[in-house]
Amino acid sequence: MIFLKICILVVTLSLAVLQLAHCKTKSNEFDFFTFTQVWPMVACLKDRSEEYKCHISRNVTGWTIHGLWPSGGRSSKGPTFCNNSSKFNESAVEKLLPELDVYWPNLQSETTRDDFWAYEWSKHGTCAKLVKETRNEYLYFKKALDLFQQINFTGILTDIGVIPDDNKLYDVLNILNKITPRLSKVKGVKPRLSCYKYKEQFYLNSVIICFTKQFEMTSCLPTPRDNRLYFKSLKDIRKIEKVENLVNNDNLISCPRDNLVKYPTIRYD
């Protein structure tokens, strides 16, 4: 009897250990990458309303990278800070610095040049190691720069006649509809645009594009995992409709009802 009890205890304990190990690896899992670019002038607008100062170097003349983020997985937001011992190492990306300075600049003037890269690396880059193409620091930053070149949002906007202008209002839904076929050949896959409200005026803030772990463009929501959840039973059909609605309406984030936004020129100081 005592033996049986001990045995059950041991089995329970080992199950717990197994589960713990399972949870631990699972928590770093993700489903897709979110790649975000920002319009630096609007990023600065935001920053200027807060405590830190913003500085745009004269080398920065177009859209810039915010980050490449492992997304989805167990928490829909994706894993973060997957290895705090893995510190950002500038020498590892030395060859990329000329490009990083211009396309992935740190706009906060009260922090060092490396701070933004170091933060993005610790928070997101360390979680991208599970994917071969982003398995180390150099490859992670290189991949983000490659995606940036591949997408060239500054060029796409210029092509459709959307040029920074301090006196003009642009229709963000119209922009979304025009850029979609230029960005993606995959039917139904749409980029997302986000707006930022500052002093009662809305501004074009960022473009968000999602990629599979093989770096094919994909929808940001729902993830395959979410789909499995929603397709469990026919009773869930209403939930499925809900998710699809969300996807259709979710491509404009925090934008105004009339869709009119500013796209200001970059000012250097």
Ligand X SMILES: *[C@@H]1O[C@H](CO)[C@@H](O)[C@H](O)[C@H]1NC(C)=O
Catalytic residues: 66, 120, 124
Specify the residue, 123 or 239, whose C-beta has the smaller distance to ligand X. 123
Q: What residues does 204 pair with on adjacent strands?
A: 195
Specify the residue, 129 or 222, whose C-beta has the smaller distance to ligand X. 129
**Whole-angstrom distance, CA of residue 168 vs CA of residue 261:** 8
Give min distance, CB of 65 to ligand X, in A. Answer: 10
Specify the residue, 156 or 193, whose C-beta has the smaller distance to ligand X. 156
Give min distance, CB of 167 to ligand X, in A. Answer: 23
Contacts with ligand X, residue ranges (CB under 6 A): 57, 59, 81, 83-86, 89, 91-92, 101, 149, 152, 154-155, 158
Contact yes or no for 40/60 (Cβ under 8 A): yes
Q: Is 81 helix (H, G, I), strand (E, B) or coil?
A: coil
What are the CA-CA distances from residue 265 to residues 95, 147, 148, 214 (Å)? Answer: 30, 24, 20, 35
Q: Is 171 helix (H, G, I), strand (E, B) or coil?
A: strand
- Residue closest to ligand X when measured from CB atoms: 155
**Whole-angstrom distance, CA of residue 237 vs CA of residue 260:** 35
| Residue type for position 15 | L
Specify the residue, 89 or 109, whose C-beta has the smaller distance to ligand X. 89
Give min distance, CB of 179 to ligand X, in A. Answer: 13
Give min distance, CB of 173 to ligand X, in A. Answer: 23
Q: Is 108 helix (H, G, I), strand (E, B) or coil?
A: strand
Q: Among candidates 170, 172, 80, which has minimal Cα distance to 126?
A: 80
Q: Among candidates 82, 70, 81, which has minimal Cα distance to 33?
A: 70
